[in-house]
Amino acid sequence: MFSKIFSKLSEDIAIDLGTANSRVYVRGRGIITQEPSVVAVNKKTGQILAIGDEAKKMVGRTPGHIVATRPLIGGVVSDFEVTEQMLRYFIEKARGRRFIINPRPRVIVGIPCRITEVEKKAVVDATKNAGAREVFLIEEPMAAAIGARLPVQEAGGNFIVDIGGGTSDIAVISLGGIVLERGIKIAGDKLNQDIIRFAQEEYRLLIGERTAETIKIGIGSAYPQKGNGRKKDEILKEMPMRGRNLVTGLPEEILVSEEDIRRALEKSVRQIVSEVRTAIEETPPELLADIMNSGIQLAGGGALLRGLDILIQKETKIPTRIIEDPTTAVVRGGGMVLENLDELHDVLVETEYLEPPR
């Protein structure tokens, strides 16, 4: 009886705990926040100064004793205490209403494919310490597929590629389970680093990660863009790249074209495409026949890299599409599981063995 009352009063939460950005869904209210997975810490005192949007503003602008850091690397907890503080911040933000009886929430957290049991336990422990009553884990490609409203519980093949900040997860899903999964630690952050390295090697220009990300979003592409009104010999779209010249030490601005940036990203993009092809080669024939009809679905912020869907379709000969609102697919999927926990419980990762004995 008490558990039913607690369940009704509890504001259960789904969290897409991403390397670059975290999103929070509250049962009955939808997505309430999307913020960078960044925490600003005072190294002298160990005090948390800012989390999320406020912390990201400090990146590259802090004195020596203040560090704006990401507590997750490749979707995995790298700093347990800071991750716990960040989760507490998100959970407290989600618990907007206050009752005399204010039970701790149940929390579903999205995790990358192929992480170790120790890494899973770190997520469970950090979330419990941050204020969760009960913790469930869901693999991000499964959550993204549910968020895209794919028929994951039917006897048919669903192929999804979730390209986040730290990892790209590829999964074939059927009958409510993951039949095949592959993961690669090449995603949005690696593409930013590719642009930073390109600027240094080509122009002897030192740029920051925020500048690289702005350029990636502005003119980054995986495949030449056609049908945008350009004449054959017209100059490609350009953006200014501002940084410090490594030779003179002085500030400098240069113009880079989308062809330059496509060349900078080419190696990493090819590795993602290669991983998709390998997954297709390993997919059972019956499911592959289904996928040839339903196509490859792209989710995550990396899916928005222009021309990536065209390149994957060209390389795999399978129709490829970007799902609606790909950046929120994982948290939307987690929210849908939260709203229908009894019906969709089987899609969650088993966590009983991760719990300490009581």
The CATH number assigned to the domain holding 26 equals 3.30.420.40
pLDDT tens-digit series, residues 11-43:
899 999 888 899 999 998 899 989 998 999 888
Spatial distance between the Cα atoms of 123 and 86, rounded to a whole number of angstroms: 12
Count how many residues are written for the chain: 358
pLDDT tens-digit series, residues 141-165:
999 999 999 999 998 999 999 999 9
Do both 15 and 93 map to the same domain? yes
Q: What pLDDT does 245 receive?
A: 95
Has residue 45 been placed in a domain?
Answer: no
Residue 69, beta-bridge partner list: 39
Confidence of residue 234 (pLDDT cuts 50, 70, 90): very low
Residue 2 has pLDDT above 90, yes or no: no
Residue 236 has pLDDT above 90, yes or no: no
Answer yes or no: are the C-beta atoms of 321 and 109 closer than 8 Å: no
Average of per-residue pLDDT across 226-246: 69
Do both 219 and 209 map to the same domain? yes
Burial of 292 (0-12, 13-18, 19+ CB in 10 A): middle
Comparison of pLDDT for 333 and 114, the residue scoring more: 333
Residue 342 has pLDDT above 90, yes or no: no
Residue 8 has pLDDT above 90, yes or no: no
Q: What pLDDT does 231 receive?
A: 45
Average of per-residue pLDDT across 320-349: 92
Residue 312 has pLDDT above 50, yes or no: yes
Do both 96 and 234 map to the same domain? no
Has residue 54 been placed in a domain?
Answer: no
Nearest CA among 17, 54, 64 for reference residue 37: 17
Has residue 67 been placed in a domain?
Answer: no
Which amino acid makes up residue 251? Answer: P
Do both 7 and 96 map to the same domain? yes
